[in-house]
Amino acid sequence: MSTLREAAQQALEALEIGYDSARAEAAQYHAAMAGYRPERHAAMDADVAKIAKAITALRAALAQEEQEPVAWQWLNTAHFRKDLPANAESGAWNPLYAHPPRHDIEKAYESTCKIINEQDKKLAELDLVAAAQREKVAHWMSSMGYATGHGDTIEDLLDHLGTQIAEGLEVEVLMEREACAKVCEGIYTNGDGAECWLQNAAEAIRARSKK
């Protein structure tokens, strides 16, 4: 396998990984930002299509490279044979092809490298945007008295925030129940003519907090 072909094959494998990543990222963005920034949705879809086109071109060029030799040349001399001799020495005969594909592979390889570089730049930009957004969320949480924990992403921060809010609401509910129970007890003990069912109501309210 030639060095160029090896490089082209490696580029194809990298491009296929990049395609899967770009498609998944686009799908996630479409779901999260539905109805907003239509130009960004279109740009991400265009990137996915561009990568797919490059993959198709590179695969075609590599497939063309697999063609069988149409003749064999003896040590770069004027001696040719249609078939390789059975007792041919290693490296003594050079394969000759009807349509040398090197130019096609070079062109596809250069195009692939360019797309990969562009994709890397866009991913780096998205990482910077995500980091900035995370900092905004973390700053808001801190300003509102919530702990940010060790959240590395916005999703982690929001999960941590949701847990704190749920715990805070539970405490508020318990405090409100106790306040209601004390109101009932206050009316009962002040002798305002209330019946004993007020005491029972206070006990029932407290019992809900123990469930």
Encode pLDDT of 80-110 as tens digits. 788 888 888 877 888 776 655 555 556 666 7
For the chain, the average pLDDT equals: 76
pTM listed for this prediction = 0.39
Rounded CA-CA distance 203/194 in Å is 15
Of the candidate ranges 29-38, 166-175, 191-200, the one whose mean pLDDT is the lowest: 191-200
Distance spanning both ends of the chain, measured CA to CA: 72
At 52 the pLDDT is: 85
Picking from 42, 10, 15, the residue whose alpha carbon sits closest to that of residue 26 is 42
